[in-house]
Structures are given as structure tokens and as C-alpha cells.
Copies of this chain bind each other. A is one copy, B any other.
């Protein structure tokens, strides 16, 4: 069971060990008017414990004591509050992952399933301009990058 998470030193969006992540997210949810419940904490804890993008089904399996509907509702709440982001694999399988601050795109490894963030690649501006050239006003986009991560290349 992977419960420990790397300790970052940044102060913009501290990512402390699992228990603290739960407290942090619960606190934010409470600020929004949601309640602090045991099942909710269990869901958040399980989400934080995942080392790879996971499916809703996997989360349900990891939480045999929590109702499947509760897991789905909790996951949806986390997505809606931007605590968790959705990831789309090449075969259109939907997976989830704890949100990183400011991330927008993912480098998804088809070998090990790992996900890395692709930041500041400038793709958005490029797209917006290209779209504008066609008279199109870009208001959003979906971008996932598939391939092999550092550790899986040349395996």
C-alpha cells in the first residue's frame, strides 16, 4: 500500500502526506458548504493513495466498504471542484488523477500507465491563433499526449 507521497518544498500548493491531503481537500469542500463525512474522507484518501491514473471501478475496488454510488458521487464532486482531473486514454477509457496546480495536459505512458504533466508548452496560444485564422473563436480544448515515458522508452 502506497501511503507516503513525496514532500514538496514549494509553498504555493503544498502537497503533504496522504492524511494531510485529505484534510486539505475536506477543508476546501467544507468552505464550499459540503460536509465532512467518513465515506467522503475514505474516497479522497483512496484517490490520494493512487500512484497512477485510475478508473472509477478501481476506486470502488479499493473501497469495498464504501457504496459504489458514493464513490462515483464523491469522484464527481472532486472533479467539479477541480481537486481531481479526468484523463482520456487512447481507447477512450476514462481515468482520474489528483489535480496538479495549473496543469492542463498529460503525457500518458501506454506501457506503464504513468502520467506526467506537460506545462508551458505554448500549444494553447498556437491553437487559439490557428483557430482564429479560420475565424473560429476557441473557448476550450481537449489535449492528451500518448507515448512512452522516460522509464519505458526502449524497453
Decide: A142 and B139 in contact? CB cutoff 8 A.
no
Minimum CB–CB distance from A151 to chain B (whole Å) comes to: 9
* CB within 8 Å of B: which A96-155 residues: 107, 109-110, 116, 118, 121-123, 126-127, 130-131, 134-150, 153
Decide: A122 and B126 in contact? CB cutoff 8 A.
yes
Given A118-B134, A126-B122: A139 and B147 interface contact (C-beta under 8 Å): yes
Decide: A126 and B121 in contact? CB cutoff 8 A.
yes
Cα separation A63 to B88 with both chains bound (whole Å): 31
A122 partner residues in chain B, CB cutoff 8 A: 126, 130
Given A88-B142, A142-B142: A148 and B121 interface contact (C-beta under 8 Å): no
Contact partner of A146 among B90, B130, B139, B153, CB < 8 A? B139
A8 partner residues in chain B, CB cutoff 8 A: none
A118-B127, A139-B146, A139-B148 given; name 10 further pairs at CB < 8 Å: A90-B140, A107-B138, A109-B136, A116-B134, A123-B130, A136-B147, A136-B148, A138-B145, A142-B142, A142-B146
